[in-house]
Amino acid sequence: MELLSNLLRPEKLSEIIGQTHLIGEGKILSNMVKNKKIFSFILYGKPGTGKTSIASAIVKELGVQHRFLNATINNKKDFDIAIEEAKMNGEMILIVDEIHRMNKDKQDLLLPYIESGLILLIGLTTSNPYHTINPAIRSRVQIFELHELTMEDIVVGLKRGCTRLEGIEIDEETLEYIARLSSGDFRSALNLLEVSYYSTKEDKKVTIELVKEINSKPVFFHDKNEDGHYDVLSAFQKSIRGSDVDASLHYLARLIEAGDLDSIYRRMSVIAYEDIGLANPGMGPKVMAAIHASELVGLPEARIPLGVVVTEMALSPKSNSAYLAIDAALSDIHAGNMGNVPNHIKTTSTTYKYPHDYKNDWVAQEYLPENLKGKKYYHKKNNKYEENINKLFNEMKGGK
- Residue 205 maps to which CATH number? 1.10.8.60
Same structural domain, 16 and 137:
yes
In a domain? residue 169: yes
Instruction: For the chain of 400 residues, list the mean pLDDT of each consecutive stretch of 10.
Output: 81 92 94 93 89 94 92 91 92 92 86 92 88 83 91 93 92 92 85 92 88 73 48 91 95 86 92 95 96 92 96 95 94 90 93 93 92 92 90 80
In a domain, 209, yes or no: yes
Q: Which is nearest to 70 in space by CA: 44, 99, 110? A: 99
> Does residue 138 sit in the same domain as residue 198?
no
Count CA within 13 A, CB hemisphere, residue 207: 7
C-alpha to C-alpha distance for 310 and 247, rounded to whole angstroms: 11
Give the three-class secondary structure for 256: helix
Please give the model's pTM, rounded to 2 decimal places.
0.59
236 and 284 housed in the same domain = yes
Residue range of the domain that includes 65 = 4-145
- In 3D space, the residue among 206, 133, 144 whose CA is nearest the CA of residue 20 turns out to be 144
Q: Are residues 297 and 237 in the same domain?
A: yes
Q: Are residue 125 and residue 10 in the same domain, yes or no?
A: yes
Domain-embedded: residue 221: no
* Domain count across the chain: 4
For the chain, state the CA radius of gyration. 27
Residue 141 DSSP class:
S
Domain-embedded: residue 302: yes
**Does some domain include residue 331?**
no
250 burial type by CB count under 10 A (0-12 exposed, 13-18 middle, 19+ buried): middle
Instruction: State the Cα–Cα distance between residues 309 and 83, nearest whole angstrom.
Output: 47
Q: Which of 106, 125, 145 is the last residue of a domain?
A: 145
Task: State the sign of the Cα–Cα–Cα–Cα dihedral 49, 50, 51, 54.
Answer: negative
> Considering 95, 113, 145, which residue would you say is the last residue of a domain?
145
Answer yes or no: do 85 and 141 share one domain. yes
Q: Alpha-carbon distance 54 to 118, whole Å?
A: 21
Is there a single domain that holds both residue 206 and residue 132? Answer: no
Q: Are residues 140 and 160 in the same domain?
A: no
Q: In the prediction, which pLDDT does 399 show? A: 61
Q: What is the pLDDT of residue 224?
A: 37
The enclosing domain of 270 has a CATH number of: 1.20.272.10
- Same domain flag for 22 and 97: yes
> Alpha helices of 36-118 — where are they, by DSSP H?
51-62, 76-89, 104-116
The whole-number pLDDT of residue 269 equals: 96
